[in-house]
Amino acid sequence: MWGGRFAEGPSAIMREINASIPFDKALWRQDIAASKAHVAMLGAQNIVSADDAKTITDGLDAVAAEYERDGVPEDWDLEDIHMTTEGRLAELIGPVAGRLHTARSRNDQVATDFRLWVRETIDQTDAGLEALQRALVIQAGNHADSIMPGFTHLQTAQPVTLGHHLMAYYEMIRRDRSRLADARVRMNESPLGSAALAGTGFPIDRDATSAALGFDRPTANSLDAVSDRDFALDYLMAASQISLHLSRLAEEFIIWASQPFGFVRMADSLSTGSSIMPQKKNPDAAELVRGHAGRIIGACTSLMITMKGLPLAYSKDMQDDKPPVFEAASLLALSIAAMTGMVADSTFKTDRMRQAAELGYATATDLADWLVTEADIPFREAHHITGAAVKLAESKGVALDELSIEELQAIDSRVDKRVYSALSVEASVAARASYGGTAPDQVRSQVAQARAALDIEG
């Protein structure tokens, strides 16, 4: 490829450090598609003859068939997927293959191919997240009335319903999907035709190639087009946020599956055993999802550091843009699939959850609220009275609603028997009926809206 300029070939070290074919061969489908769109445009613009355009297109189809059947060969002398495809095309159709590279550069080729790959990955990621949302919504609907302790600082705070808890993750994933959708809109511009950095003197039709590849429009600045990797960073930043949410959900399952909690029984298909302790059932899938988050975030950081100091336009550093994106996409797809299966196939131990909610003085806030509304006591004073009641109940080893009316009145005489209607966990969750609250009717309403948004029947 460099014969006209260089008297000697590259050293073995240069061949190895320069070759990207071991990883960028993943772009072969996108490279074939972009090349076919490019040559069709060259033919339509009479930049190459119609016969040559057809010969090249048929040859590209033949190369694609070989890749599909046998995989992409790795010849480091050809460096990358672009030269590998062009080299094989020349072997199949002869010198006419050289016309394919008219009015383009590997700089706009790789920018186009990589955008196409990331765009497809965004669509696949979104489909996976939708499946996870479906699993969350179905389980939330099944458990709209199932009471569990809600936590702050991992300390029992107030009773909530399991359905409410699961719908919190539905909302997180909804935001994740919106970030992916935003990224897809921003990246859906075609760099093809920007050539090396300055555009081309050939009378190309960039609107035609853009439309053929499903882009909304061509990029407006050729320098920016070949040097931009914002689209990859947008994806990685969205992937990082998704991985954080998946990691939080995984951590909850890990805690809930532990014997001290006992809130959930994980499916055998997503658990492992111990080589020495026969009783163990380890939540390894959840732990790996939690671990993958670090690698995905690391991939995002890696590309940001690669790009942070590069002048316009293309620099060889940018060859390292693809491995972190490929790795993150693979890990994220696995994580989403694992959490979807975990949510769908786990069995929630609702009796144990309800028992834990009763044991943690989770209705203390309800006692304080009752003192405010029924006894006309300022909240700060009600908070103090309730704290005294919790301290007494704790010393006796009983729940708040097991304290006698005499014991409560000894703390504050304004308490009367009506207070017991506010101290059950059922009364507590039912009272939280504000929009977005944990009351079962609110949860069912949110589930119904989510089912409609996801087009879930029933």
Alpha carbon distance 34, 30 (integer Å): 6
Catalytic residue check, 245: no
The 8-class DSSP code of residue 10 comes to: P
Residue 45's contacts (CB-CB under 8 Å, 6 or more residues apart) are: 202, 203, 204, 205
Q: Which member of 153, 269, 395, 413 is catalytic?
A: 153
Residue 247: which of 303, 278, 304, 292 has the closest Cα? 292
Alpha carbon distance 166, 137 (integer Å): 8
Q: How many alpha carbons lie under 13 Å from residue 282 in its C-beta half-sphere?
A: 11
Q: Which member of 49, 178, 274, 421 is catalytic?
A: 274
Written in H, E and C, the secondary structure of 341-388 is HHHHHCEECHHHHHHHHHHCCCCHHHHHHHHHHHHCCCHHHHHHHHHH
Three-state DSSP state, 217: strand
Phi-psi region of 46 (alpha: psi -120 to 50; beta: other; left: phi over 0): left
Tokens 């729940």 correspond to what residue? 399
Under a CB-based contact definition with an 8 Å cutoff, are residues 288 and 332 in contact?
no
Alpha carbon distance 111, 170 (integer Å): 34
User: Distance from CA of residue 51 to its chain's centroid?
Assistant: 46
Residue 139: which of 396, 365, 342 has the closest Cα? 342
Three-state DSSP state, 162: helix
What values do phi and psi take at 148, rounded to 5? -145, 165
Alpha carbon distance 250, 286 (integer Å): 5
Distances (CA, A) of 75 to 20, 83, 305: 10, 10, 29
Active site residues: 153, 274
